[in-house]
Amino acid sequence: MLYLLKPGELSLKGENRKDFERVLKRNLKTMLGKTRSRIEMTHGRFYVECAEDAERTVEDALGHLFGITGWAKTRSCEKTLDAVIHECVSEARELFSSGAKTFKIEAKRTDKSFPVDSYGIMNAAGEAILTAMPEFTVDVHHPDALITVEIRESALIYGTSAKALGGLPVGTAGRGMLLLSGGIDSPVAGFMMAGRGMRMDAVYFHAYPYTPEESRQKVIKLAGIIGAYTMGIRVWTVNFTKIEMRIKEGAPSEWTTILLRIAMMECAEGLARYRGAKCLITGESLSQVASQTIENIACTSSRVTLPILRPLIGMDKERIIRLAERIGTYETSILPYQDCCVLFSPDHPMLRGKVTDAESLYRGLELEVLMHEAFTGAVMEKCGFYEE
């Protein structure tokens, strides 16, 4: 089977194009691993050829590959008009049986030695389809299905392409450090930044034994799911129990969540620098919860100098959930395991904290030694890497 891939924004990026193509090819090659397949790039076209038993693996990979906007299963045949028409009719049958009511044919003849021109090909194929399936009608403006014929080194026929993720190939935009909790939002945030070409590690803060091992397993599972899009993800688990206890004992209860977030950011930044990550990524969305008012976001950002990317900041929950469903994390995210903030859930959390207050409370906690201990005790696990 031959697949034709449509590169996305790649084509717009002039100078960097070669690099993007190289990374895209490398990613796909990694995804396909030992599958019997061949990837080829000619004239700015991207093809994957594979044995029939590898089709599912290939299609699954294409569904996880950032950097292409679509793909089509392509029929190739002998370069004669009869053979081309025959394949067009077969393709039309398939499109019709999958629900299309109208079609249009487009032909491109790059090989001028082919005796019939594009117009002739369109006419002949169109007529053959109408004869075979009179109920399948032509609509040149808004067809349900588009059948494309290309006469180049070989003759290629393909129908409307399946939609892919778009975006840029993972590995073209540096590395980020994702703060990954077991919730709905942060996995989606990671997915979105991967779609801008970012590779990433993740850090998860847990409060074992106050939060059960199942909570961590849930995060590892989520990382495995998004790892399939991000070309693998290293998850760093940091035990924050002592830090949470210190915050609980040493700070007014309305401040505890904000102070915990500051500590998380600070630790995540340390890990980011250690791993060469150039930014932090969180699943925050403006005003979604008390800790995410703009004032509190200012507090939680105050000690970090790396950029903090918050791709969900302007999205409402419904859109985030829809995306989570699409990428496959939702079902896992809603499993009912305790989050790490279980140690404190203040009745009246501070809604609009002042950065100067947050700073002085945080300094008063003298977390340096505990932070160093938590940081050096971080345990790493590789999730969602493809077998090469």
Structure tokens at 118: 């594009």
Question: Based on CB atoms, which residue is closest to ligand ATP, 75 or 206?
Answer: 206
Give residue for tokens 């904000």: 258
CB of 191 to ligand ATP, least distance (A): 12
Q: CB-wise, 48 or 260, nearer to Mg ion?
A: 260
* Stretch 193-232 residues interacting with ligand ATP (CB under 6 A): 203-205
**Residue type present at position 98:** S
Cβ–Cβ < 8 Å for 358, 200: no
C-beta of 107 vs 180, nearer to ligand ATP: 180
Q: Check if the beta carbon of residue 298 is closer than 8 Å to that of residue 291.
A: no
Neighbours of 275 (CB within 10 A): 17
Among 105, 198, 340, 370, binds ligand ATP (CB under 6 A): 340
Tell the smallest beta-carbon distance from residue 335 to Mg ion (Å). Answer: 13
Round to whole Å and give the CA distance between 65 and 149.
Answer: 25
Cα–Cα distances in Å, from 285 out to 114, 231, 299? 57, 25, 15
> Which two tokens mark 301?
């950002």
Q: Which does residue 340 touch among Mg ion, ligand ATP, none (CB within 5 to 8 A, set by kind)? A: ligand ATP
| CA–CA dist 280, 259 (Å, integer) | 17
Which of ligand ATP, Mg ion, none sits in contact with 291, Cβ below 5 to 8 A by type? ligand ATP
**Residue 183 binds to Mg ion (criterion: CB under 5 A):** yes
Specify the residue, 181 or 215, whose C-beta has the smaller distance to Mg ion. 181
| Residue in this structure with the two tokens 């090659």, named with its chain if needed | 29
CA-based R_g, the chain, Å: 26
Name the segment binding ligand ATP (CB under 6 A); options: 21-29, 277-285, 346-354, 367-375.
277-285
The runs of H, that is alpha helices, within the chain are 17-32, 55-64, 81-97, 118-132, 185-194, 213-230, 241-250, 256-275, 294-301, 317-327, 330-333, 355-364, 368-376
**β pairing state of 308-309 and 175-179:** unpaired
Pick the piece of the chain touching Mg ion (CB under 5 A) from 9-17, 162-170, 176-184, 288-296: 176-184
Residues 161-200 that bind ligand ATP (CB under 6 A): 179-181, 183-186
Binding to ligand ATP in span 281-300, by CB under 6 A: 282-284, 288-289, 291-292
What is the closest distance, in whole angstroms, from the C-beta atom of residue 310 to ligand ATP in the complex?
Answer: 9
Site pattern 23..42 for ligand ATP (x: CB under 6 A)? --------------------
181 or 301: CB nearest ligand ATP: 181
Contact yes or no for 68/27 (Cβ under 8 A) = no
Task: Specify the residue, 159 or 349, whose C-beta has the smaller distance to ligand ATP.
Answer: 349
179 binds, among Mg ion, ligand ATP, none (CB under 5 to 8 A by kind): ligand ATP
- DSSP for 298-337, please give it: HHHHTT--S-EE-TTTT--HHHHHHHHHHHT-HHHHTS--
By C-beta, is 151 or 264 nearer to ligand ATP? 264
Rounded to a whole number of angstroms, the minimum distance from the CB of residue 312 to ligand ATP is: 8
Residue 282 binds what, of Mg ion, ligand ATP, none (CB under 5 to 8 Å, by partner type)? Answer: ligand ATP
Separation CA 320–CA 100 (nearest Å): 31
181 contributes a contact to Mg ion by CB under 5 A: yes
Which whole-number Å values give the CA distances from 37 to 7, 54, 343, 388, in the listed order?
19, 8, 51, 13
Of 93 and 196, which has the nearer Cβ to ligand ATP? Answer: 196
The span of 115-123, 143-151, 182-190, 192-200 binding Mg ion (CB under 5 A) equals 182-190
Nearer to ligand ATP, 186 or 239 (CB): 186
Binding site for Mg ion (CB under 5 A): 181, 183
Contact residues for ligand ATP (CB under 6 A)? 179-181, 183-186, 203-205, 264, 282-284, 288-289, 291-292, 340
